[in-house]
Amino acid sequence: MHKKIFKTRFPICMQIFYFTNFCFLMLKTKIKKALAIIALSALISTYFGSAFAATQIGTGSVVWDNSFDTNIMWDENFPWTASGSVTDVIITATVSPALDMSISTGAIDLGNLVAWVASNGSLSIEIGTNAVSWVSITARSQSGGLANTTDNTILINNNVADWVQENYTFASTPNGTDDSSFATFTANWLAATEVINNSVEHTIYTTNKPEATNNVDDVVFTVEATTVAETPAGNYQDKVTFTVTGNF
């Protein structure tokens, strides 16, 4: 019955036509799949071949320290190169600190002091240093004033402990031209300051950068004394301690 209907509705020529088309489509699909598989295989082969076609032929290393070990790889081609890197090898160096202070003289003579007339004298100081941050010079009176060499309780200063009030001051002035190569170099100094004890370190010079030693004085230190009519006669003396400090 079915055969009869099939034959009646689909002549033999049509059946052949449809069957042929069906076979062709199936073949075409398989060919596409096959070509796709071939292309994918070629791509995978190329990628993994280029990624993994290399051979370790040596090691980059540091003696007694395997933390630096690195493979040296060759890509298995001639002519070609092989390479590997050893990284983070540390280079160190030290610059030793330097600090020099040169004072122009070992004594300042104020001469014969006359009442109410200021008498002063000075010396120059040269600093050479590679201190990274700052340098300072301090001046400290060892007597707290000009002390009478016969009776050291008699002092020329602004303190009235000995019943007579005079003046004895320290001051400083920096050289107008510094000897530092740093554009941001600055120097500070001391305005005239009364000296009345032997404990205070009077800062007469500070800087913020290294400076060269080139025989050009960096700061002038000045001491000045003024007596009154009742200042006891005699010889007077003070000794000053200069201290230089560098911050490295």
Does the domain formed by 99-247 have CATH 1.10.530?
Answer: no
How far apart are the C-alpha atoms of 116 and 188, rounded to whole Å?
Answer: 30
State residue 154 phi and psi, 5-degree precision: -90, 115
Q: Is the pTM of this model over 0.75?
A: no
CB 247 within 8 Å of CB 135: yes
| pLDDT of 80 | 87
| pLDDT of 160 | 79
How far apart are the C-alpha atoms of 153 and 84, rounded to whole Å?
Answer: 82
Which comes out higher in pLDDT, residue 45 or 123? 123
- H helix count then E strand count, the chain: 2, 15
Region at 40 (left for phi over 0; alpha for psi -120 to 50; beta for the rest): alpha
pLDDT band at 22 (very low <50, low <70, confident <90, very high): low
Compute and round to an integer the Cα radius of gyration of the chain.
48
Average the pLDDT over each of 179-183, 193-197, 213-217 and give the range with the smallest value.
213-217
Task: Write the single-letter amino acid at 131.
Answer: A
Which residues share a beta bridge with 65? 62
Highest-scoring range by mean pLDDT, 13-22, 122-131, 162-171: 122-131
Tokens of 147: 């002390």
Distances (CA, A) of 218 to 17, 60, 135, 167: 113, 54, 12, 26
The tens digit of pLDDT for each residue in 228-240 reads 999 999 999 999 9
What average pLDDT does this structure show over 122-131?
A: 96
Task: Write the single-letter amino acid at 162.
Answer: D
